[in-house]
Structure 1
Amino acid sequence: MADVTLFLAGDVMTGRGVDQILPHPGSPALREELVTDARRYVALAEAAAGRVPRPAPPEWPWGDALRLLDAERPDVRIVNLESAVTARGEHVPGKGIHYRMHPANVPCLTAARLDVCALGNNHVLDFGPTGLAETLDTLRAAGIRTAGAGRDAEEAWRPATVPLAGGRRLLVWSVGAASSGVFPHWAARDGRPGVAYLPEVSSATAGELAQRIAATARPADLMVVSVHWGSNWGHEVPDEHVAFAHALVDAGVHVVHGHSSHHPRPVERYRDRLILYGCGDLIDDYEGIGGQEAYRPELRLLHLPTLDADTGELRGLRLVPVRMRRMRLQPATPAEAGWLADLLDALGRPSGTRFAPGPDGAITLR
């Protein structure tokens, strides 16, 4: 086997308004300051772009992305699932926003044939340990591997293991940083549910994580670290994020899969390995919400790196641009794809990571 192609995406937020359009919506009750009914987010999307069917089929939010992914034929599909999958538990106090999707709507996730859901983020415990337990059970029953959260520390820090051709393995670790809004008391402990928690993002915490990886990984394994970190908006990457990512690559990690920002952040090719500092959202219910238009958050990316199966080196990277309309992904227009290509090229210039639009609409690493 010469190559392994991954599909990587940022935040998949199937709770709240997305859950309300699916065949089995849960309770729409919210605890937000301005919105108390999740159906309000559907109404905002409809006001912006037109009617959304209700109920929509499970695959609706993915839209044309499913066809585009099938054409790319990735070997492994990995997303950050930023929603609890539960009808149980109570809204956790002290949070302004809670996300959950009813477990009966899990076909929305299986429609995309996901292999791994990273759960080390600031919404997986929105409905407490009870909601987390149902999330883990529901995803496992659906055949989706998880990493980054568990019933105790051992489970939360355990990587998801995906078998590859030729007896190889892909290991995926998921961690959530305080800077993304993960509460310190959400950290998994012995005998206590929670997330694989990073109190800070630094070379020191990267070293601790590298020790965990070294204790588990085999020489032939490909290794991905999925990290939820940083603010929601802004293209700047803090120096400590760069140091953390570089330290992981120096320790042997092949891909650093960063997310939390609602729009793409810089991509870096470092020592022939891939670092995604912020993949941006893929699925959410933000359509029709104003205030951050300069970032063009309606534009999304399907990240498709191809790795050398023996060395893990980055052989190529295709970024397929899509956009959200009527709560459904569709291909970006040539102008939209060009805007994203120019943005990523400008953001990558300081590290020498350059991008160009391709004739088929995808953005490729130069």
Structure 2
Amino acid sequence: MVSRIGFTGDVMLGRVVDDRQRRRPVDAVWGTVLERLRGLDGLVINLECVLSTRGSRWRRTHRPFHFRADPDWAVPALERAGVDVCALANNHVLDYEEIALRDTLANLDGAGIARTGAGETLEEALEPAIVSVDGLDVAVVSFTDNTPEYAADDASPGTAWIEIDRENPETRRRVREALERARGTDPDLLVASLHWGPNMVEEPPASFREFGRWLVEQGVDVVHGHSAHVFQGVEVHEGRPILYDTGDFVDDYAVDSRLRNDRSFLFVLRIADDGEVLECRLHPTEIDDCAVHEAPPDAADWARERMRELSAPFGTAFDRDGSALVLSLED
């Protein structure tokens, strides 16, 4: 049996998206991609906002943007798309202070959507999300190097924060601890979801490349990167995909005319029942009117060509199947 698991970049449901969604059906945010999402066996996203109507904006340090979505529509929207796991280790989970983070955790738990990367304490933030996808047991851990003031500790809520440096002893200890917990559940597939690096950067730095490869060498089957707001290239290391950045999936952000942060992909992995990743299929997407859509032909052409260019330095070459790029990982 083969399972199909989707991975997206940032899903930001706050601000203008939140306002627009209050006046349209809850699943409108998924646009023309909804049926493709619902056809997957599993779906993992980076949730780039809190799910709450409470809290006040973080003012302890300078934060220019604060993202919050009303759970009355946002939670049903996540359910309608079939979201299984939300990675929460990012730079927005404390935008409305601790009360809104706690609401987010409770709302996801109440909906049966697994989450990882943030919690009441660091220990909780390091706990893996465990889901069964079409009979395939999947464990997801989540880390971020963004916004160290949002880091959880032994007594305070926040994120699973690390420095992206494979030689850093604390990073190695923390990551290995999380991976060991995940492996303790005997998963068929182990995913590391990373919100790493600054915005609008088109290529991962050498330290990220080294870290992604190190994660694979530690037993991670899929590296799921996000944070740059633009997609980056794909590398295959020891037969496992490193998605350095999956870009933005839905948001209300201003669009850079050159970098086209409104364009990305739905990354769909075909997984054998023994956990072997057989294929990575990239379906072009484009954000319009605070919703994600199947990319029109010109946008899809641009995204495919750009992905080929960004992935070529890693020795990664794609085939084409309809509008999708296809990367075969079978031996």
TM score, norm. by length of structure 2 = 0.92
Give the counterpart of 1:89 among 40, 44, 55: 55
Equivalent-residue separation in structure 2 for 1:234 and 1:220 (angstroms): 33
Distance in 2, matches of 1:5 and 1:207, equals 32
- The equivalent residue for 1:222 is 189
Q: Post-superposition shift, 1:333?
A: 2.1
Deviation at 1:100, TM superposition (A): 0.2
Equivalent residues in 2 for 1:349-360, closer than 5 Å: 349-358=312-321, 360=322
User: Per-residue deviation at 1:220?
Assistant: 4.8
Shift of 1:352: 1.0
1:309 aligns with 2:276: no
2:125 corresponding residue in structure 1: 156
Q: Which runs of 5 or more structure 1 residues have no equivalent in the other structure?
A: 24-54
* Structure 2 Cα separation of the partners of residues 141 and 4 of structure 1: 26
Q: Does 1:21 align with 2:53?
A: no
Distance 1:169 1:224 in 2: 11
The equivalent of 1:275 in structure 2 is 242
Greater CA radius of gyration, 1 or 2? 1
Percentage of identical aligned residues: 36
**SS of the residue aligned with 2:258?**
helix
1:105-147 alpha-carbon deviations (Å, 9 max, x no partner): 2222222110011000000110111110011111111221110
Shift in Å at residue 355 of structure 1? Answer: 1.9
CA 1:87/1:201 → structure 2, altered by over 3 Å: closer, same or farther? Answer: farther
Q: Match of 2:301?
A: 338
For 2:285, the aligned partner's letter is V
Q: Which residue of 2 aligns with 1:209?
A: 175
- With over 3 angstroms needed to count, the CA separation of the structure-2 counterparts of 1:246 and 1:333, relative to structure 1, is same
Give the Å deviation of 1:323.
Answer: 1.4
CA separation of 1:232/1:134 partners in 2, compared to 1, >3 Å: closer, same or farther? same
Residue in 1 that maps onto 2:137: 169
Structure 2 distance, partners of 1:217, 1:351, is 28
- Aligned-pair CA distance for 1:206: 4.6
Deviation of 1:19 after TM superposition, in Å, equals 0.5
Write the distance in 2 (CA, Å) between the matches of 1:353 and 1:315. 15
Q: Is the 8 A contact 1:232 1:262 kept in 2?
A: yes
**Which residue in the other structure is 2:160 paired with?**
196
Alpha-carbon distance, 1:322 to partner: 1.7
Q: Do 1:337 and 1:363's aligned partners in 2 also have CA atoms closer than 8 Å?
A: no
Q: List per-residue Cα deviations over 1:213-250 (Å, max 9, x = no partner).
A: 12441455310000000111121211110111111100
Matched residue type, 2:17: V
| Contact persistence 2:194–2:224 (CA under 8 A) | yes
Offset, 1:357: 3.0
- CA distance change for structure 1 residues 259 and 206 in 2, over 3 Å: closer, same or farther? farther
CA distance in 2, matches of 1:206, 1:335: 43
SS at match of 2:81: coil
SS of equivalent residue, structure 1 residue 175: strand
Matched, 1:262 2:229: yes
Equivalence for 1:364: 326
CA contact (8 A) 2:164 2:211 kept: no
The match for 2:209 is 242
1:79 paired residue among 45, 63, 78: 45
> How many Å apart are 1:283 and its aligned residue?
0.6
Deviation at 1:348, TM superposition (A): 1.1
SS in structure 1 of the partner of residue 26 of structure 2:
coil
- Mark the CA change 1:211 to 1:190 in structure 2 (over 3 Å): closer, same or farther: closer
Q: Secondary structure at the match of 2:130?
A: strand
Normalised by the size of structure 1, how large is the TM-score?
0.84
